[in-house]
Structure 1
Amino acid sequence: MPDPASAATRATGFDAIILGAGIAGMYQLYRLRQLGLTVRVFEAGTGVGGTWYWNRYPGARFDSESYTYGYAFDEALLQDWNWSEHFAAQPETLRYLNHVADRFDLRRDIRFEARVTRAQFDEAAREWEVALEGGETHRARILITAIGPLSAATLPRIPGIEDFRGTSFHTYRWPHEPVDFAGKRVAVIGTGATGVQVIQTIAPQVGQLTVFQRTPNWCTPLHNRPITEDEQARIKAGYPEMFELLRRTPGCYIHDTDPRGTFEVTEAEREAFWERLYSEPGFGIWMANFRDVLTDPKANALFSDFVARKIRQRVKDPATAEKLIPKCHGFGTRRVPQETRFYEAFNLPHVSLVDTRETPIERITAAGIRTSEAEYAFDVIIYATGFDAITGSFDRIEVRGTGGQRLKEHWADGPKTYLGLMSAGFPNLLTIVGPHNASTRCNIPRCIEQNVDWVTGLLRHMQAQGLTRAEATPEAEAEWSAHIEELAAGMLYTQVDSWATGINRNVEGKTVRRILQYQGGAPQYRARCDAVAEQGYAGMTMD
């Protein structure tokens, strides 16, 4: 890589361009500055934060423990920041990320309100040309995507969305100003993780709430609470041990899989263990369960029955309870929403549930929503209808590599990557938190830091060797993609329709299951990436 101060570098614009100023983009900027590179970050929003900038809906908060989620690269930052809750809400998280941007003076290299529409690799110049909305172009040797796995929001394919005369928005595009729900007739479409958080939060505030549900989810209690002063001191003193634990666990959570099998204990021991998990905070119920709950159908069915009993105990109306219990997938085979009195919201007299599998939504009308059975009038419609996950944010940018090939076409039958960080035919393109990457099934900042540090090591190697081009070989890409399929074999989640398997019926063509995630766990993924680096970046051509 050329000296950043050279005339050649100035002529091409930047050494590196980063797409996105969320957790990944900010950290990658910090690391590239340490290499002395000239960097520009293009961010579509008006501020930093990524997920936490866009998702401002009521109830948005962590489902990872706050102190496990923050950046780990700077000890002073860890000691100076105090999280107020075990699972922080969106406003606090956004304040934290703004604090990081200020602390390390990151904004001077970030261009806001700059949406990238196209990226083309110039083979003669060995650099990427990046076009912004409006036609402005910039060039850089290295292009790094930090665009997030859940950033391509999707509206449902229901006729009439534009006809509604009231207020409506997708949760990802929540207004920056407060929304007054007092006395309003409100519809929420969707009961995934976002829908759960919105519903439980606004239910006590609205005049009337109608929830339209297509697929129920297995939801378990978050058990959030404030962090006391004594806890704060213990957390800060214990950061080294905690981060070492996070390096060892498959998902980089403080929860580790129980080594026992479901049927290796007595029924009484099993029930007592599950009762304890249900009463404890966070993802332990998903991540620290018996080792076979996510692979053995019989074990999974038994635990699903346990959670179903909890739902029936908490929802007073038996018919509503049954609608809220998933029948088409087992516990943990889709992401588990963490909730706080979500089920109790349906006990309120002004809250009702419409099962759209029984009575499908036919269209959005000027006044509200019409199903096959009834018409409903609303003042507000909230679309909690999720994302075109993992690959969707890539599909919305026209990325062209060598020979003009499009990344979307290269991935048409499912992603093809090397380490989830590169694709053959797309030189100097590095995809942080991309498909086939451990970070999409992880306490994401922990895996983001691993991704960024590996990319930084690669670029440092290129600097030292005077290299200007790095690309995955087709053979390495094919081997890694086959490895991804092998790791997923036997996992129950691969049999279920969800964003994790590439299914999104709100997006044309996203109806075929694909393996999008690395299933070997973060420690194994980290070891593979480290081995590639130690072998002189095996599986790549560099010159």
Structure 2
Amino acid sequence: MTAAVHGVNHAINGVTEKVNGIHISNEQELDALVVGAGFGGVWQLKRLRDEGYNVKLVESGTDYGGVWYWNRYPGARVDSAIPHYEFSDPLLYKEWSWKQRFPDSSELRAYFTYAAKKWDLRKDTLFNTYVESATWDEQESKWTVKTKDGPTLKAKFLLLNTGFAAKRYTPDWPGIESFKGTWVHPSFWPHDEPDLMGKKVAVIGTGSTGVQLATDLAKVAGHLTVFQRTPNLALPMRQVDYTNGDQEIPRPEYQSLFDHRKDSFSGFSFNFVPKSTWDDTPEQRQEFYQSLWDKGDFQYWLATYYDMLFTPEANKEAYNFWRDKTRARVKNDKLKDILAPMEQPHAFGCKRISLENKYFEIFNQPNVSLVDMKTNPIESVTETGIRTCDGTVHEFDIVICATGYDAITGGLTSIDIRGTTDQTLKETWKDGTATNLGMSVSGFPNMFFTYGPQAPTALCNGPTCAEIQGDWIVDVVNHMKVKDLKKVEVEIESQKAWAENIWKLANMSLLPSTKSWYMGDNIPGKPREPLIYLGGVPTYYKTLEDCAKEGYSGFKLS
């Protein structure tokens, strides 16, 4: 049996045993078990402990950070600016100083270490612990959670914080196992950095990860080949380095920023402007676009005209500005047409927008090539490299398969979760996702999740979502305690109504017109459906507030 580092006491099967030098006893059972040590899980552990609950956190990695524990590839960094991308607790932000406006993954891991120390989290965290299954016991009104090669835990509440990028995806190209070089998914990047200097390197995929990797690897690879299926309509990041403890805004202004994150569509301090694209003259429009472009961050995407994501004409206008700015950065006319086509390839902002630091300029370098998989897809993998459909074998020392994740639902459905029936969550969702408020599912009592399907999630700043949802879940737990209740379960009618609302909001936008992981399009056989709540953070927050004020309408409490 394996267990965590950093001592933890747990309730397990009525016995007391010593695991890795830790005494584990189950004389007491848990009020709540938190799964996942990213922003969502860490915030819930802190909040529930502050309320006096017996709560533990389990994490499959060896430390805190969630996706930032796993993402160690060259160039890995967050594309939400600080101080948006941090916890709102003054105990943390009054002393912590960031080195950059957009911190890299190592700095984010250091931040989690700092938070864990300030909040004294390690005593209640079990690392190296992968949750395999969770089963609801109707008689006890508790969850039994089994871990791989580790303890079995019992808890009244099961709180899942697996994130939207927990289950990696690699296409089933023939011959992958025959490749003699190094084949790696970026989230499995070796902790000991491999020597890439002078090597022949492939990056398959041009999502956020692919863009970051390619930008960094172009500096060291002997030759870098980028395989692109769909152009990434990436925006300039406008990175800033900080010195002498200076930050983006003065610390006295932090609390106001945090208090108003929930007032923005995307959980940032900026928002869509209250006018349409056509309210401005062409000259005014170009000037406004340029002002957003110069600010960097997601402002060109999420602080623009309110109709940009909702009407084709406004969307095309935004794309055309992006296209012209981007094409001017690429020297080769053929590459311009692949990277920034004259004809709009998809609705701008309806695939995940990335932030970049001179990504498009790497294609002006003699050591960088681009393969357009729209016209020349990958046929197979050979011992020496990748064969494309035109018959060419591209030889590589290292292939980095930045092909993404079974996003949003994959982390949840990879666990064998069984509620009031013997049907798993994966089976429940096989024909389409169904939740209430994007946090709970009918037939799975006392189970909540954050940053999951049918919530703002990937269109919301992560810490904003973690705190809004986490605080609401803690309030539910408190309500149950005060009322001496054992079970809270979604009513099926409220779940159906929420699903209808998700579709209604999506169909008002351009999202369904575009193939993306927002719609489940990247995984073969996955139902095509909107996985993101498009009503915006303010409306979502008000919905949660109203639900609580109405005694948790839409839920059956018993």
Instruction: Classify the TM-score, shorter chain.
Output: over 0.9
The answer to whether residue 49 in structure 2 is matched with residue 33 in structure 1 is: yes
Question: Retained in 1: the 8 A contact 2:97–2:246?
Answer: no
Q: Which position in structure 2 is the counterpart of 1:227? A: 242
Distance in 2 of aligned mates of 1:391 and 1:234: 36
Instruction: Specify the SS of the correspondent of 2:371.
Output: strand
Of 27, 37, 45, the match for 1:21? 37
Q: Is residue 280 from structure 1 mapped to residue 329 from structure 2 by the alignment?
A: no
Aligned counterpart, 1:352: 369
Which of 56, 60, 77 matches 1:61?
Answer: 77
Point out the structure with the larger helix share: 1
Moved more, 447-456 or 15-24: 15-24
1:475 Cα shift? Answer: 1.3
Give the aligned partner of residue 332 of structure 1: 349
Does the alignment pair 1:103 with 2:121?
no
Secondary structure of the equivalent of 1:314? coil
Equivalent residues of 1:359, 1:372 under 8 A apart: yes
Secondary structure of 2:250's aligned partner:
helix
1:309 corresponds to which residue?
324
Q: Distance in 1 between matches of 2:429 and 2:245?
A: 50
Between stretches 257-266 and 33-42, larger displacement belongs to 33-42
- Structure 2 unaligned blocks of 5 or more: 1-9, 15-24
1:254 is matched with 269
Matched positions, count: 535
Q: Give the C-alpha shift of residue 481 in structure 1.
A: 1.5
Name the SS for the 1:489 alignment partner: helix
Give the distance between the partners of 1:136 and 1:237, measured in 2 at CA.
45
- DSSP 3-state at the match of 1:142: strand
Whole-angstrom distance in 2 between the partners of 1:126 and 1:449: 27
Q: CA deviation at 1:136?
A: 4.3
Aligned AA (1:513): R
Pair 1:433 & 2:451 matched:
yes
Q: CA deviation at 1:135?
A: 7.0
Q: Residue 106 of structure 2: which of 76, 80, 91 is its match?
A: 91
Unaligned runs of 5+ in 1: none
- The correspondence for 2:416, drawn from 398, 408, 414, is 398
User: What residue identity is the alignment partner of 1:411?
Assistant: W
* Secondary structure in 2 matching 1:480: helix
CA distance in 1, matches of 2:432, 2:29: 33
CA RMSD in angstroms comes to 1.9
Is the Cα–Cα contact under 8 Å of residues 12 and 139 in structure 1 kept in the other structure? no
Displacement of 1:440: 3.1
2:471 is aligned with 1:456:
no
1:74-85 aligned at under 5 Å gives the runs: 74-85=89-100
**Structure 1 residue 268: deviation in Å?**
0.9
- Give 1:370's match in structure 2, choosing from 380, 387, 390: 387
- SS of residue paired to 1:199: helix
Residue by residue over 1:307-338, the C-alpha shift from the partner in whole angstroms, topping out at 9 and shown as x without a partner, is 11122110100101111126430211111110
Structure 2 Cα separation of the partners of residues 184 and 26 of structure 1: 39
2:536 paired with 1:539: no
Q: Work out whether residues 219 and 338 of structure 1, in 8 Å CA contact, stay in contact via their aligned partners in 2.
A: yes
- CA deviation vs aligned residue, 1:411-436 (integer Å, no higher than 9, x gap): 12221111111111100011111211
How far residue 244 of structure 1 moved from its aligned partner, in angstroms, is 3.2
Q: Give CA-to-partner distance per residue, 1:351-374, whole Å, 9 cap, x none.
A: 000011211111111111111220
The range that moved more, 438-447 or 233-242, is 233-242
Amino acid at match of 1:139: K
User: Which one of 491, 495, 506 corresponds to residue 509 of structure 2?
Assistant: 491
Three-state SS of the structure 1 residue aligned to 2:83 is helix
Aligned to 2:17: none
**Contact in 2 for aligned 1:126/1:141 (Cα 8 Å):** yes
- Whole-angstrom distance in 1 between the partners of 2:500 and 2:164: 21
Aligned equivalents of 1:65 and 1:195: distance in 2? 20
Alpha-carbon shift at residue 159 of structure 1 (Å) = 1.2
Distance in 2 (CA, whole Å) between partners of 1:404 and 1:255 is 45
Q: In 2, distance between residues paired with 1:99 and 1:135?
A: 27
The residue aligned with 1:296 is 311
Q: Which residue of 2 aligns with 1:444?
A: 462
1:416 aligns with 2:398: no
8 A Cα contact 2:39 2:462, kept in partner: no
Contact 2:129–2:150 under 8 Å retained in 1:
no
- Residue aligning to 1:244: 259
- Cα distance in structure 2, aligned partners of 1:70 and 1:370: 43
Residue 67 of structure 1 aligns to a residue in which SS? coil
Aligned amino acid, residue 48 of structure 2: L
Cα displacement (A) at 1:235: 2.5
Aligned to 1:469: 487
Aligned to 2:500: 482
Q: Percent identity?
A: 39
Q: Is the 8 A contact 2:82 2:248 kept in 1?
A: no
CA distance in 2, matches of 1:165, 1:83: 41
SS where residue 144 of structure 1 aligns? strand
**CA distance in structure 1 between the aligned counterparts of 2:91 and 2:37, rounded to whole angstroms:** 22
Following superposition, the deviation at residue 376 of structure 1 comes to 1.2
Matches of 1:17 and 1:59, distance apart in 2: 34
Looking at structure 1, the residues matched to 85 and 424 of structure 2 have their Cα atoms a distance apart, in angstroms, of 35
Between 480-489 and 164-173, report the one with greater CA deviation. 480-489
Q: One-letter code of the match for 1:349?
A: P
Shift of 1:230: 8.0
Partners of 1:34 and 1:243 in 2: CA distance: 20
**2:220 match: secondary structure:** coil
Contact 2:167 2:411 in 1 (8 A): yes
* Contact 2:91 2:118 (C-alpha < 8 Å) held by counterparts: no
TM-score normalized with structure 2 length: 0.93
